[in-house]
Structure 1
Amino acid sequence: MFNASASPSENCTFRTVITTTVIPLIYCFIFIAGLGLNSVAAWVFLAVPSTKSFIVYLKNIVVADLLMSLTFPFKILADSEIASSQLSIFVCRYSAVVFYINMYIGITFFGLIGFDRYYKIVKPLFTSVVHTINYSKVISAIIWLLLIILSLPNMILTNEINEANYSGNCVGFKNELGIEWHKFTNYICIGIFWIVFLLLIIFYTSISRKIYSSYKKFRKSSDVTKRKTNRNIFTIMLVFVTCFVPYHLCRIPYTLSQTSARFDCPSARALFYTKEFTLILSAANVCLDPVIYFYLCLPFREKLYQKLRLKLKTSGEAEISKSRRTNTIRESTNTL
């Protein structure tokens, strides 16, 4: 059975006006914006054919963001203490797990997009099954399956269902095996993020160099292309740094504060507040991803304008397309 005295943080109370009013209010805005933007993104992507690997991956991110957004109302109600304590149990056992599953699914697919762009732009002569649509669909299914399998025990092993165990810390509902699995999955997910983040830096640095070296021969439009490429890469990396780096810097010490007796109550409380506010940044990613689709994915932008019956300004793309460029480089500037 779970030893309630194993971690002082379990006997701390984290309930303040910040956690019951301020944070739920912020999540309300994120939920409204995220659900609206991702619903529009899903509506547009339904009309975009899956002709390229990166579009398959983007569609998976849209699904992950939508599912992630749907968990926000449960957190809002539970944290604000509007609903009964049974909802807090539901959040700890199910809703929070779904939130994290979809967050890391989205992170993983952004890594796959970086990998796909890297090999199609930096190594255009490299042909492999990994670039086929069928492979993209298979690897997408595998990612969903693996992360669901990894996270499912967090639902099953959260079985110490006793309202007295809950003080704002979900670990109080876990048995001993559940605590160990909780630590294991946290470290795996942290590793996933940092690996993807490092690979994105490598991929997009190589892409930027490749595009710059390919376009510098054409003085007329090299500056335009260079600015566009740098903008696209900067946007992706800015979203990752802003939304995910702060949370993953504090997640290891926070996990230790949940499962170790080395942290006193004030330290555990400080880590809890740090985790909650950095998690808000991660949650806000659902609002920023649709903006990324718009600026970085030309098929998405074209289809959106078509559905809204607006005229897409394509002067930049037209100028590039009229130049003597390879198909690979032209694709990179439109779908990076």
Structure 2
Amino acid sequence: MENTSCTLARGHSNATLVEADFQYHLFTIIYSIVFVLGLLENVLALYLLTCNVKHTSHSYIYLINLAVADTLFVCILPFKIHYHLNRNNWIFGDMACRITGTLYCINVYLSIAFFTCICMDRYIAVLHPFTYIRIKVTHCMTVVTGFWLTAASIMIPLILGGPLHNKGTGNKTACFENFSLPSWTHRMLPYDVCALLFGFVIPFAIILISYPLMAKRITHTSRSIHKKKALRTIYLILLICILCFVPYHLTHLLHFLMRVQLIQRCLFTHLIYKMRRVTMALVSFNCCLNPILYYFMSSSKPWHLGLKFRSRSKVYTICDRKFNDCPYKSKPAVRPPTQQLNELSFLKQVQ
């Protein structure tokens, strides 16, 4: 959704066009890597998470849907690869442009939504374990269904609306970019505002507040093995957000300011356009990094293809009689039967 004009004045683009020739090689290479790795990793993750599961937990529901969203995303990448390999020339028709363009954007915000759900799920499990026990899987399914319905309600108007491809430079056809200012203001402005607010500001505020609190709580536990694993999961999620999503949305914000003409200097317009091309390539890497997250969160043992696979996600909270200390524990120790009975009132299984 870029504007390649150097300046925007009175709703018209001037003749000076922003050039970023590196983008053709960048997108082709990055999207090809993401397509191969992302397809293999996410199909494998879906197989392991659906065919070898004996137990369904809250986070597991979000991981499944995150893998589905990533798989849909990598399936549209061959069209994007062809588009950029031919120097941003779309040959597949308007309907294919609408579908691939909307799926690209929807994947970004569905991924952020499921990341936020995982964040809140872990936050409640670690800091409010007794509240977490009362949350049922059906509640998570309701949240997930709401996200997919919201995504569909956004996609359908874009797909059934006016064309999303237009003439680029020369005889090329641009797809989902190079909108003229009146067209962008009429059609894309509301989506950009909602995307920045509900897809960036609110989710990242939740993530940046919740994960430091969880990390602080986990560091005070005495179980070093489980503590390290939990911290690695937190750091991985923060890494994916910082590497893939934060740069994309910061440049998206600058692009938005450019479109509403709060940024008009030609130098900044060139820079924002080039930065946006780089961050659009980077955001696609989340499809390759997310399966690592599945590994850490779905099992306490390494994944085995069809051999003794366990994807049972457990979080245990052990509390003393005064509920002063509730360390984070991923697997209960084996106790003698009499000792187990004495501890039943203090062991709460959070799944």
TM-score normalized by the length of structure 2: 0.76
Question: Deviations for 1:288-318, whole angstroms, at most 9, x for unmatched residues?
Answer: 000111123217x56x315256899xxxx99
**Deviation at residue 178 of structure 1 after TM alignment:** 5.2
- Residue 31 (structure 1) aligned to one of 35, 49, 58: 35
Are the counterparts in 2 of residues 250 and 271 from structure 1 also a CA contact under 8 Å?
yes
Task: Tell which deviates more after alignment, 111-120 or 49-58.
Answer: 49-58
Check 1:262–1:106 CA distance in 2 against 1; reply closer, same or farther (3 A cut): closer
Q: Distance in 1 between matches of 2:282 and 2:194?
A: 20
* Aligned 8 A contact 1:6 1:261 in 2: no
Q: CA, structure 1 residues 276+161, in 2 after alignment: closer, same or farther (shift >3 Å)?
A: closer
**Alignment counterpart, residue 322 of structure 1, candidates 319, 333, 338:** 333
Task: Tell me the percent identity.
Answer: 22
Superposition deviation, residue 161 in structure 1: 5.4
Q: What whole-Å deviation, never above 9, does each CA across 1:61-80 have from its counterpart, x for those lacking one?
A: 00000011112111111112
Q: 1:67 aligns with which of 51, 60, 72?
A: 72
Letter in 2 for 1:307: G
- 1:305 corresponds in structure 2 to 304
**Partner residue, 2:100:** 95
- Normalized per residue, the structure richer in helix is 1
Distance 1:68 1:77, change over 3 A: same
Which residue in the other structure is 2:209 paired with? 202
CA distance in 2, matches of 1:160, 1:244: 24
Distance 2:293 2:258 in 1: 35
1:86 match: secondary structure: coil
Moved more, 9-18 or 21-30: 9-18
Distance (Å, rounded) in 1 between the aligned partners of 2:27 and 2:347: 48
Name the SS for the 1:307 alignment partner.
coil
Q: Which runs of 5+ in 2 are unaligned?
A: 1-7, 317-328, 336-342
TM-score by length of 1: 0.79
Residue of structure 1 equivalent to 2:200: 193
Q: CA deviation at 1:113?
A: 1.2
Give the 3-state SS of the residue equivalent to 2:130 in structure 1.
coil
Instruction: Tell me if 1:109 matches 2:110.
Output: no
Alignment length, in residue pairs?
A: 315
Matched, 1:295 2:296: yes
* 1:132 match: 136
Listed one character per residue, the Cα deviations across residues 40-96 of structure 1 (whole Å, up to 9, x for unaligned) are 111111122562111111100000000111121111111121796333855653312
Q: Does 1:79 align with 2:80?
A: no
Q: Is the 8 A contact 2:240 2:286 kept in 1?
A: yes
Q: Which segments of 5 or more consecutive residues in structure 1 lack a partner in the other structure?
A: 217-221
Alpha-carbon spacing, 1:248–1:82, altered in 2? closer, same or farther (3 Å): closer
Of Structure 1 and Structure 2, which has the larger fraction of its residues in strand? 2
**Which residue matches 1:219?**
none
> Secondary structure of the residue that 1:228 maps to in structure 2?
helix
Report the AA paired with residue 120 of structure 2: F
CA offset digits 1:193-240 (Å, max 9, x no partner): 232222123222232333344x34xxxxx3333333322211111111
Q: Which residue of 1 aligns with 2:255?
A: 254
Please show how residues 217-236 of structure 1 align to structure 2 within 5 Å.
222-236=223-237
Letter in 2 for 1:123: H
Counterpart CA distance in 1 for 2:32 and 2:296 is 26
| Aligned Cα root-mean-square deviation (Å) | 3.6
